Amino acid sequence: MQAVSPAFSCDLKPLIQRNLTAKNARYCQVNGKRASVRCGYRSESFSFPNGVGSSRADWQSSCAILASKVASAENSSSVTGGLADQVAAVNGHSNGSVNLSLVPSETTKNGKPGLVQPLTNTDLSPAPSHGSTLRVAYQGVPGAYSEAAAGKAYPNSEAIPCDQFDVAFQAVELWIADRAVLPVENSLGGSIHRNYDLLLRHRLHIVGEVQIPVHHCLLALPGVRADCITRVISHPQALAQTEGSLNKLTPRAAIEAFHDTAAAAEYIAANNLHDTAAVASARAAELYGLQILADGIQDDAGNVTRFLMLARDPIIPRTDRPFKTSIVFAAQEHQGTSVLFKVLSAFAFRNISLTKIESRPHHNCPVRVVEDGSVGTKKHFEYTFYVDFEASMAEARAQNALAEVQEYTSFLRVLGSYPMDMTPSSALPSEDV
């Protein structure tokens, strides 16, 4: 029987096997203009074209949010080589220096600087040293519910928007961000399977959880009436959660899916769409200059999303407050789902409450073939199981339970042992988050 490693000793395979002096290109604010940063992937010092100093203090005072796009068409020749070098850097290779010419932020019609754009895969290269402000990655654009979750989990932090869940994971692994806050389940829509798969693919640790109530609003350009709306756009889950209200407010409007709630609001503002409304948060209306046609349009008032807080290193489990532990395991070969009963018994015998069980297809072995001479060949799906239980890995009963679970599984990994979000339902804000 193999020993079960506690959460704080989980093996974290180094993802960056290059010189620790590798730095990342970031936007720099210089005399009101965006300056491009040339990054060396050996030991050379930083070079700032517009006169920014190369010291750590200068970097901290000058650098803003990371860039979301690389050079525009006018610099296409230099970008081609830069992108190739970025890909090599992400894959762990060093190929000289990388010159990232960054696109300046857009300016709105009223002359105000545009909002930062989400990180994309092209931005994922090793990050520079930074100050004491915690940087938290989230999926979406400013005004998204994930941004509110990041703010609740880490107040006074620097929020870094990412265009995909996978980019948020990589941003933490590559030291572009210190934490990531990502959704895993909604009280109405259920589990977010993509993030469960990414938890297994990446080596980040769960260090906390936070629950955010979802408060939807119907947004449109100023002066637009609800009866003039012919199209409503938003994330598919937001549209499903407001279906009843939308049928009453905009009965003749076509419903169209969009990749993000706040991005839908941004799209309407950017394109000046007077016939289109978005389902998003009140903060999105404030950020993108939209009016709220209807407030609190979710069909179920108890609409809550649970987010996980992820970090490169685990926290040390404690017993002085309620803790939750998340694990993932796969059954031994030819044992099938009967192993699940034995695993549940290991927790029930020790009076450990389970708060979630999630199954996902086993990526390495999705189908198990069983030969039976009497009835022919049978095929069964193989699964990976995610389990959350209310106990700390510092408790002997949790350690003993996992030691028994190890006997029935071919693979067992502790994703994290972390404090539970004990915020009572009555204390959750009733207004938009």
Catalytic residue positions, numbered:
305, 307
Q: Shortest CA distance to 388 belongs to which of 187, 184, 237, 166?
A: 184
In angstroms, the Cα distances linking 4 to 317, 327, 338, 400, 405 are 15, 11, 21, 9, 9
Which residue type sits at 373? G
Tell me if 200 sits within 8 A of 310, measured CB to CB: no
Q: Rounded to a whole number, what is the largest CA-CA distance in the chain?
A: 80
